[in-house]
Amino acid sequence: MQNNLFLRSIRLSDELPKGSYLNQVAAIRHLKRMGELNFQKPVTFLIGENGVGKSTLIEGIAVAMGFNPEGGSINFSFSTEDSHSELHRFLTVSKGTKRRKDGYFLRAESYYNVASNIDQMDREPGLGARLIDSYGGKSLHHQSPGESFLSLIEHRFGGNGIYILDEPEAALSPMRMMELICHIHDLVEKDSQFIISTHSPILMAYPDAEVLQISEKGIESVSYEDTEHFRLTRQFLNAPEKMLQYLLKK
Ligand SMILES: Nc1ncnc2c1ncn2[C@@H]1O[C@H](COP(=O)(O)OP(=O)(O)OP(=O)(O)O)[C@@H](O)[C@H]1O
Ligand SMILES: [Mg+2]
C-alpha cells in the first residue's frame, strides 16, 4: 500500500543539460540511474560525505515542492541572488493526498536572510499579528543562531506540514540537538514529515526514520548503527587518546 506522506517520491523527469555540473554530482547520478527515490517514513535523513550532493538534492526537492530556494516558509518570497541550481526544473515530486497546512525549508547558509526578512516584514505596516511573535517575540537577530533556530521550530512549526532542513545541527549544542529530537517527535505525532540532511550522529538516531546514505556506490537505506557517523563517533569517544595517537602519528 502506498503511504500518505506529503512527499512520497521524486524522480528526474527530463534529461539534464549535457554540460551541467549536476551530471557529476553523486546524488543526482544515482537518482538518474534509480529512476525514482521513495520516501517511506515520517523522517528521512540524507547522509553522506561532504560534496555527495545532499544540499543540492534537498534544495531541488524544496523548490519543486514550492518553497523559496533561499529558505523560509511557503509564504516568503524574497530574493537576494539566484544561487540555486536548476535541478528543480528536472524533478518530479509525487505528493500524497493530504493537504499540507504548514511547511518550512531551512538552508543552513541562508538562515540569516530568513531572520532579516522576518524583521523587515514586521517593520512594514500591515494587517495581522507581527510575524516575529510566532518566533518567540524577540528578533531572531537578537538571539544566538542556536536559540533562534529552536524558537523557530518551537513557535513557528505547527505540525501537519513538511519540513525540509539542511544540516539543522550546525548551530546546536549536543543538549539542544536532543531538544530538537523532541520537537521533531512532537511534530511527527502531529502528522508532519521531515527531510533532513545531517552529519549529526545524535540527530540521525531518531527512531521512526529512514537513513538514506549517499556514497559513490549509490543511495542506500542503512540502519543507524551501520552509519559511518555512528561507528566513527563511537570509536572516537570510546578511546579518544587511541584515536588521536593514530591520527596524529608522524
Ligand atoms: N554552482 C556550482 N557549480 C559547480 N559545482 C557545484 C555548484 N554548486 C555545487 N557544486 C558541486 O556539487 C557537489 C555537491 O554539493 P553539495 O553542496 O550538494 O554537497 P553536500 O553533500 O551538501 O556537502 P556538505 O556535506 O559539505 O554540505 C559538490 O562537489 C560541489 O562542489
Ligand atoms: Mg550540504
Ligand 1 in reach of 86 Cβ (< 6 A): no
CA 109 / ligand 1 centre spacing (Å): 13
Cα separation, 250 vs 242, in Å, equals: 14
Q: Whose alpha carbon is nearest atom 27 of ligand 1?
A: 50
What's the 57 CA to ligand 1 centre distance in angstroms?
10
Residue nearest atom 26 of ligand 1, based on CA coordinates: 50
Name the amino acid, one letter, at 60: G
> What is the third-level CATH fold of 7-248?
Rossmann fold (3.40.50)
Instruction: Compute the radius of gyration of the chain from its Cα atoms.
Output: 19
Domain assignments of the chain as residue spans, ordered by start: 7-248
Q: Which of 221, 232, 176 is nearest to 199 (CA)?
A: 232
Determine if the pTM surpasses 0.75. Answer: yes
Instruction: Give the residue, by CA position, lying nearest to ligand 1 atom 17.
Output: 55
pLDDT of 187 strictly over 90 = yes
The answer to whether the CB of 219 is under 6 A from ligand 1 is: no
Q: Using 50, 70 and 90 to split pLDDT, how confident is the model at 119?
A: low
In the chain, the amino acid numbered 173 is S
Sign of CA dihedral 69, 73, 74, 78: negative
213 lines ligand 1 (CB under 6 A): no
Cα 213 to ligand 2 centre (Å): 14
If one residue of 16, 20, 21, 110 were mutated to test the ligand 1 pocket, choosing by the most ligand atoms within 8 A of its CB, it would be 21
For 152, which DSSP code?
H
Q: How far is the CA of 224 from the centre of ligand 1 (A)?
A: 24
pLDDT of residue 220: 97
Phi, psi of 43 (to 5 degrees): -125, 125
Q: What is the DSSP letter of 215?
A: -
Does residue 182 have a pLDDT over 60? yes
**Is-contact 197 105, C-beta < 8 A?**
no
In this predicted structure, which of 30-39, 42-51, 139-148 has the lowest mean pLDDT?
Answer: 139-148
Spatial strand order of the sheet with 7-12 comes to 36-38, 7-12, 91-95
Residue range 56-79: average pLDDT?
Answer: 80
Distance CA 231, CA 165 (A): 24
Q: Is 24 in the pocket of ligand 1 (CB under 6 A)?
A: no
Q: Does residue 57 register a pLDDT over 90?
A: yes
DSSP one-letter string for 66-118: T--TT-B-TT----S---S-SGGGGEEEEE-SSPP-EEEEE-GGGHHHHHHHH
**Rounded-to-integer distance, Cα 220 and Cα 128, Å:** 46
